[in-house]
């Protein structure tokens, strides 16, 4: 496995107040050439999990329990400097705001070349030539000319391609794509998804793809983990999960998908909202929104049974 996460817990310290744990007991794994999709509503802990993996937690955030193994090395137990060096070499990230992620006062080619110099130790000339090659590889037209231009001269889709070129500079083992296509129109979204898939296959990367769009999951992922209120509530391969979702929350997400053959004029919804991380209910966090909840659901957190964490599954319901 490229990435193995075991019982990850993240704590955010708050001066004068009790700390909060936005991510609890999360376990994931993704192999070379494989895409794992992490899905759920906003506030479920998806992005916080990715920030922990990339070493980008906020100043008061920390990994307080669990293991994050990158090709067998536990990042959580390494000295901070060594962990940064390993992440710089092996982990790359692409986020939603591509234009905001690029330096507005440096040319796109310079930024990619600088990443190559840091990660691979290339000379300036070598790095520039490789940057132009990467820009062509991700589908940017006339890469030699574009390398001399600034991010404001690029469209949103071109900036996203540039960010992907920047991310894969140095051949990372893991690519984290956090809502990387959300701000794009449908046509550009499909192009970027295809590009990430092509690069995954060509470079043998593992991809962790974060999204709230189950349509994207069906199109791109091999495995999927569904998060709710900081925990993974269901994990399975994509085909099995779409064929027979086991957790009530997953079924709620699936029922909310628009269907062209549906007779109803309104989409199905899940009542209520994700609870704040400092006001989580006792027991199963989804219980207040769940039509299948029982008394035990409000008093004890469910353990994983097979591929999902639900008291109904444990009881044979």
The residue count of the chain comes to: 317
CB 209 within 8 A of CB 38: yes
pLDDT in tens, 35-83: 999 999 988 999 999 999 999 999 999 999 999 999 999 998 899 899 9
Tokens standing for 251? 């079924």
What is the mean predicted confidence (pLDDT) over 226-250? 96
Cβ atoms 173, 205 nearer than 8 A: yes
Top pLDDT among 48 and 264 is at 48
Distance CA 192, CA 156 (A): 11
pLDDT of residue 316 exceeding 70: no
pLDDT score, position 258? 74
Closest CA to 32 of 73, 3, 5, 68: 3
Residue 31: other Cβ atoms inside 10 A = 15
| Per-residue pLDDT, 255 | 87
- Dist. CA 286–CA 70, nearest whole Å: 31
CA distances from 286 to 213, 220, 281 (A): 20, 27, 8
pLDDT at 267 over 90: no
Per-residue pLDDT at 252: 93
Tell me which of 1.10.40.30, 3.40.50.2000, 3.40.50.970, 3.40.50.300 is the CATH number of domain 3-105+150-314. Answer: 3.40.50.300
In terms of Cβ atoms closer than 10 Å to its own Cβ (0-12, 13-18, 19+), residue 9 is middle
Does residue 262 surpass a pLDDT of 80?
no
pLDDT tens-place string over residues 275-302: 999 999 999 999 999 999 999 999 999 9
Neighbours of 184 (CB within 10 A): 19
pLDDT of 314 reads: 73
pLDDT at 90 over 90: yes
pLDDT at 261: 65
Which residue shows structure tokens 């053959």? 261
Q: What is the tens place of the pLDDT at every residue in 133-190?
A: 999 999 999 999 999 999 999 998 899 999 999 999 989 999 999 988 876 788 888 8
As a whole number, mean pLDDT of residues 82-92 equals: 92
Residue 251, CA distances (Å) to 45, 203, 209, 224, 295 in order:
19, 35, 20, 14, 21
Q: pLDDT tens digits for 2-42?
A: 999 999 999 999 999 999 999 999 999 999 999 999 999 98
């Amino acid at each position: 496995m490229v990435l193995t996460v075991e019982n990850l817990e993240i704590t955010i310290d708050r001066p004068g107040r009790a700390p909060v744990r936005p991510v609890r007991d999360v376990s994931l794994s993704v192999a070379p050439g494989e895409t794992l999709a992490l899905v759920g509503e906003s506030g479920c802990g998806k992005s916080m999990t990715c920030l922990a993996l990339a070493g980008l937690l906020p100043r008061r955030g920390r990994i307080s329990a669990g293991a994050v193994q990158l090709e067998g090395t536990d990042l959580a137990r390494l000295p901070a400097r060594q962990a940064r060096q390993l992440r710089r070499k092996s982990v790359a990230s692409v986020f939603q705001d591509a234009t905001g992620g690029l330096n507005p006062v440096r040319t796109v080619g310079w930024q990619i070349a600088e990443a190559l110099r840091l990660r691979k130790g290339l000379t300036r000339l070598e790095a520039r030539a490789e940057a132009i090659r990467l820009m062509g590889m991700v589908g940017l037209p006339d890469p030699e000319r574009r390398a001399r231009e600034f991010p404001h001269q690029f469209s949103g889709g071109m900036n996203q391609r540039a960010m992907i070129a920047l991310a894969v500079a140095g051949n990372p083992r893991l690519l984290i794509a956090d809502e990387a296509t959300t701000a794009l129109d449908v046509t550009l979204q499909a192009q970027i998804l295809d590009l990430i898939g092509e690069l995954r296959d060509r470079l043998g990367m593992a991809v962790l793809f974060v999204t709230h769009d189950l349509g994207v999951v069906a199109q791109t992922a091999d495995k999927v983990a569904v998060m709710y209120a900081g925990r993974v509530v269901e994990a399975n391969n994509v085909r099995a999960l779409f064929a027979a979702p086991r957790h009530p929350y997953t079924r709620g997400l699936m029922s909310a998908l628009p269907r062209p053959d549906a007779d109803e004029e309104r989409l199905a919804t899940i009542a209520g909202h994700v609870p704040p991380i400092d006001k989580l209910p006792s027991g199963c966090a989804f219980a207040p929104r769940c039509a299948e909840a029982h008394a035990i659901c409000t008093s004890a957190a469910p353990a994983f049974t097979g591929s999902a964490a639900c008291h109904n599954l444990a009881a044979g319901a």
